[in-house]
């Protein structure tokens, strides 16, 4: 896709949010990756970032320590790029939570801590 100012891009799918990020050629994303959230620990919200190296199905979920899913942050197909999702824990108890990121057949998990 070209971001040339003289070109036109038509979006055929409805999106809640669209973010354009420019990268240098040496910053090309080479792997699917769940990045550290910030802030961590957090109260009441944190930003969870991830990157995709190619168009893929993404599932981003948050679980409590007992293994119950508390929120789905993403569950769709997305093109290669860098993404972020906000997790709001204002209705949850203080404690440790797990972020589960699945892109294609790759799964990554990170611990996050909510402190009230």
Mean pLDDT, 10 residues at a time, the chain of 116 residues:
63 71 64 95 96 95 97 96 96 97 95 95
pLDDT score for 84: 96
Handedness of CA 59, 62, 63, 65 (dihedral sign): positive
The DSSP code for 19 is -
pLDDT score for 29: 83
Whole-model pTM? 0.76
- Per the structure block, which two tokens stand in for 81? 């790029």
pLDDT score for 25: 46
CB atoms within 10 A of CB 28: 9
Per-residue pLDDT reduced to its tens digit, 66-86: 999 999 999 999 999 999 999
Name the CATH code of domain 25-114 (choices 2.30.30.190, 3.30.56.10, 2.60.40.1930, 3.90.1150.10). 2.60.40.1930
């Amino acid at each position: 896709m070209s971001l040339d100012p003289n070109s036109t891009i038509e979006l055929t799918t409805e999106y809640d949010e669209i973010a354009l990020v420019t990268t240098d050629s040496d910053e090309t994303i080479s792997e699917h990756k769940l990045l550290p959230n910030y802030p961590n620990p957090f109260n009441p919200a944190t930003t969870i970032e991830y990157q995709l190296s190619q168009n893929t199905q993404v599932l981003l979920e948050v679980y409590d320590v007992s293994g119950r899913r508390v929120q789905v942050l993403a569950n769709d197909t997305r093109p290669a790029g860098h993404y972020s999702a906000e997790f709001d824990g204002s209705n949850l108890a203080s404690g440790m939570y797990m972020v589960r990121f699945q892109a294609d057949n790759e799964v990554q998990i990170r611990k996050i801590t909510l402190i009230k």
